[in-house]
Amino acid sequence: MTELKNDRYLRALLKQPVDRTPIWMMRQAGRYLPEYRATRAQAGDFMSLCKNAELACEVTLQPLRRYDLDAAILFSDILTIPDAMGLGLYFETGEGPKFERKADSMAAIEKLAIPDPEDELGYVMNAVNTIRRELKGEVPLIGFSGSPWTLATYMVEGGSSKTFEKIKKMAYSEPKALHLLLDKLADSVILYLNAQVANGAQSLMIFDSWGGALSHNAYREFSLPYMQKIVDGLTRHADGRQVPVTLFTKGGGLWLEAMAETGCDALGLDWTVDIGDARRRVGEKVALQGNMDPSVLYGTPERIEQEVKSILASYGNGSGHVFNLGHGIHQHVDPEHAKAFIDSVVKHSGQYHK
């Protein structure tokens, strides 16, 4: 493999010295960019874009051409695993992802097979391979998956949900069924992420987008143990380097200490947490990623710069911080405001690494 020219992001995740705070954005390849919208139109629909390795590579690289970013993230979707399990993923305009079939009973869950990542999910591996090749060592490539709990919410509900009524009903009335589903998903995620590493991913991220919908005890029963299982099962070295693993529970500020105990390398923070407080709580155990509110990007460039400076100051001196938004960039953000955000991190973060 080509030697990595910029390893700032990987070094920060491992709390090694860097010259400035690295930055990338969740959903950096996405609908806010006109070039993305053009490529998606060329593909025809979202899943066709995901399944075409050349086009998935193109949209992955688009933000790197515009901005001074320190990492690329695989262009894909968290619901590839449930789709490969045979639930029939489709997208309705304005309504988000839906499944033709649900995993909402013990009988349905028992029928689910763990997908072979090189077969049913081979299109993802083709994309990873293609992107890694086309990056030419400029920046590292992040692979990712949804967490078992988050994937299960879509599979049991049949799509997106605001109340999570069906899966919470299963949690409290049929916990054995839900634990079987979560266990199958954890096994699937381990295989999936390890295949991404084998195909060229240099860092891994697990998105627990809906972990924050759980109560304190339920999080520790239905989400955290399955992320722990995944961390324990992952390939942590490839190409002569450590492969850092980041866990991100949106709304997970209550559980940072417990998440840090899993053996992951970094925690993602949403914007509801003060990053300085988070650093004091987890100590030297893990690096931190985050955590500007994506809505700040609707502000003026001056307001964006002010917020960047505030977060950098809160984290303070030393490595172990990857600057990011507290969740994905919003669709209607001006790309020039994203540039102001990234440029502000590049401009102001060096002083914290002397």
Known binding-site residue numbers for substrate: 27-31, 77, 154, 209, 327
**Which one of 7, 70, 77, 83 is the catalytic residue?**
77
Sequential DSSP letters for 275-304: HHHHHHHHTTS-EEE--B-GGGGGS-HHHH
154 tagged catalytic: yes
352 tagged catalytic: no
Structure tokens at 284: 């030297």
Residue 218 exposed, middle or buried by CB count within 10 Å (0-12, 13-18, 19+): middle
**Which one of 27, 32, 67, 279 is the catalytic residue?**
27
**Which one of 31, 37, 236, 241 is the catalytic residue?**
31
119 tagged catalytic: no
| CB-CB contact of 15 with 282 (8 Å) | no
Binding residues, by number, are: 27-31, 77, 154, 209, 327
DSSP 330: P
Task: Write phi, then psi, for 198 (nearest 5 degrees).
Answer: -60, -30
77 tagged catalytic: yes
Q: If we measure between CA atoms, which residue out of 59, 54, 57 comes closest to residue 39? A: 59
Determine the Cα–Cα distance for residues 90 and 85; give it in Å rounded to an integer.
14
Sequential DSSP letters for 99-137: ESS---SHHHHHTPPPPPTTTTTHHHHHHHHHHHHHHTT
Q: If we measure between CA atoms, which residue out of 205, 60, 199 comes closest to residue 125? A: 199
Determine the Cα–Cα distance for residues 343 and 288; give it in Å rounded to an integer.
20
Which residues are identified as catalytic? 27, 31, 40, 77, 154
